[in-house]
Every structure is written in structure tokens, then in C-alpha cells.
């Protein structure tokens, strides 16, 4: 494997491990506000997935690059859309009865 492939694999493994430990240490009471505050920055994962796919497709394993790149883009989009849905649901809990009629 080329050096770029090792770097991409290392970044993926490191981000998986760090992300797991970061999310595990967040109390459940703070999870929703934290997620809603960081949801706009989660769009960076989509850009990262697109760039990683472009790098992976240029290697000898083009089909594997397409498969994992597509999965990365799909999962990043699910993350962002789900974050906005949860934020919207959370904000609807704070509306008063007069606000719901409008």
C-alpha cells in the first residue's frame, strides 16, 4: 500500500477511537444541547468523506474506494440530517401553547 493509504487508514482509526471515547464521556443530560451546538460543524465530515473518497478512488483499489467512500458520505449525511431533526424536536419542546398555533 502507498503512504497515502496508510495515512488515511491511520486518520480513520484514530478518529474512530477518539470519537468513541469523547461521546462515551458526555453525560446524557448534555448530549442533545452539545449535538445541536456542534451540528453545523458536522458538515465538515461530509467534506472529509468526499475528499477521502476522491483520494481512495485514485488508488489501485478503485471499487473499494467507491464502496467505502459512498458509505462514508451516506453516514455523514445521516449524522447531519439526524442532528438537525433532533435539534428541531428539542426546540419544539420549548414553545408555548400560543406559539404552536402560529
- Name the nearest CA neighbour of 39 among 3, 88, 4, 72: 88
Split at pLDDT 50, 70, 90, the class of 102 is low
Q: What is the pLDDT of residues 38-94, one digit of tens each?
A: 776 778 888 888 988 888 888 888 888 889 889 989 998 998 888 888 778 877 877
Cα separation of 45 and 51, whole Å? 10
The full set of domain ranges for the chain reads: 39-90
DSSP state of 59: S
The DSSP line for 10-57 is HHHHHHHHHHHHHHHTS-HHHHHHHHHHHTGGGHHHHHHHHHHHHHHH
**Higher per-residue pLDDT: 34 or 53:** 53
Grid cell in block for residue 74:
451516506
Amino acid at each position: 500500500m502507498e503512504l497515502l493509504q496508510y495515512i488515511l487508514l491511520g486518520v480513520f482509526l484514530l478518529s474512530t477511537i477518539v470519537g468513541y471515547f469523547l461521546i462515551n464521556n458526555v453525560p446524557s443530560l448534555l448530549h442533545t444541547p452539545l449535538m445541536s451546538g456542534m451540528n453545523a460543524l458536522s458538515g465538515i465530515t461530509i467534506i472529509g468523506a468526499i475528499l477521502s473518497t476522491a483520494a481512495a478512488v485514485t488508488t489501485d483499489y478503485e471499487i473499494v474506494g467507491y464502496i467505502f467512500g459512498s458509505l462514508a458520505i451516506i453516514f455523514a449525511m445521516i449524522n447531519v440530517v439526524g442532528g438537525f431533526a433532533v435539534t428541531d424536536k428539542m426546540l419544539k419542546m420549548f414553545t408555548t401553547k400560543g406559539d404552536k398555533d402560529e
